[in-house]
Structure 1
Amino acid sequence: MAGIDEREVLVKKEKNRLKKLFNNIPTSKLKVVDGLIIQAARLRVLLNEMWIDISENGDYELFSQSDKAEPYERERPVARLYNTRDQSYQRIIRQLTDLLPDEKDKEEVKQYTASDLI
């Protein structure tokens, strides 16, 4: 896992990337946008770290309540948390996308693909 300084560098880099993607949002909505972009950047960095953990260690683990109980497979807490944070990230991205001007209000429309946002 990244240290706090390294994580802050990654968050700043992601924040700048998102600001470029959502630079067409009207200035009247920028105060809302800045908070959403910061939160999305933080979530993205955490999701990337969690993805590495899940990739290396899997979604499930053997778990037992005691020495005498048979172990069973259960979802790892990091996998559950990843899914929750991913949903939060997707909601924020949706909010940002909804703040973009309608196509009819823009002179030129930039089409984003899913890979631009991920």
Structure 2
Amino acid sequence: MIKKELTKEDRIKKEINRLKKLYKDMAENTMKKVISLIENAAFMTVTLEDLQDAINKNGTISEYKNGENQYGTKKSPEVEVYNTMIKNHMGIIKQLTDLMPEKPAPKKEDEFIKILKRENNG
């Protein structure tokens, strides 16, 4: 079976849905504020994946020609964009992580209850 490649928009939507699931327990008024961060994080995640593919395929160095006899190499444009975007992406992920709803701590069984259970079980 050949897997159909998703469009960039579909991949972004899929990532948005994945991130929203992580924040499903968040208060609705807070979620309205966070949705923009989620959408930007999803866009950056997919774009970074595409940039990684391009860098893996084409390398990190580009050749250039500035006129008749001026040749050289420089950092590829994909690397430039990737380096800037990864920093922004990490900032958004940090913000989202800080806003993650806290899970209640597991309740520790009272020692008295444990003793009672042991006595009842034999």
TM-score (norm 2): 0.72
Within a 5 Å distance, the mapping from 1:52-71 to structure 2 comes to 52-69=53-70, 71=71
- Give the secondary structure class of the aligned counterpart of 1:11: helix
Distance 2:89 2:23 in 1: 15
Contact residue 26 and residue 100 of structure 1 kept, 8 A: no
Does the residue aligned with 2:7 lie in a helix, a strand or coil?
A: helix
Deviation at 1:89, TM superposition (A): 1.0
The letter of the residue matching 2:93 is I
For 1:84 and 1:25, the matched residues in 2 are separated by 30
Name stretches of at least 5 consecutive residues in structure 2 with no aligned partner: 1-5, 107-122
Alpha-carbon distance between aligned partners in 2 of 1:62 and 1:9, rounded to the nearest angstrom: 33
SS at 1:14 equivalent: helix
The alignment status of 1:73 with 2:70, answered yes or no, reads no
Which residue pairs with 1:114 in the alignment? Answer: none
Question: Does the C-alpha gap of structure 1 residues 67 and 108 become closer, same or farther in structure 2, counting only changes over 3 Å?
Answer: farther
Output aligned runs, 1:1-118, within 5 Å: 6-69=7-70, 71-101=71-101, 106-108=103-105
What is the root-mean-square deviation of aligned Cα atoms in Å?
2.0
Q: Deviations over 1:12-46 (max 9, x none)?
A: 11111111233343333111111110111111111
Corresponding residue SS for 1:66: coil
Paired residue total? 101
Percent identity of equivalent pairs: 35
Q: Shift in Å at residue 49 of structure 1?
A: 1.0
| Secondary structure of residue in 1 paired with 2:83 | helix
In 1, Cα distance between equivalents of 2:11 and 2:79: 22
1:41-89 deviation digits (Å, cap 9, x = unpaired): 11111111111111000111122312212x2220111110011111111
Structure 1 gap ranges (5+): 110-118
Supply the distance in 1 between the matched residues of 2:17 and 2:47 (Cα, whole angstroms). 17
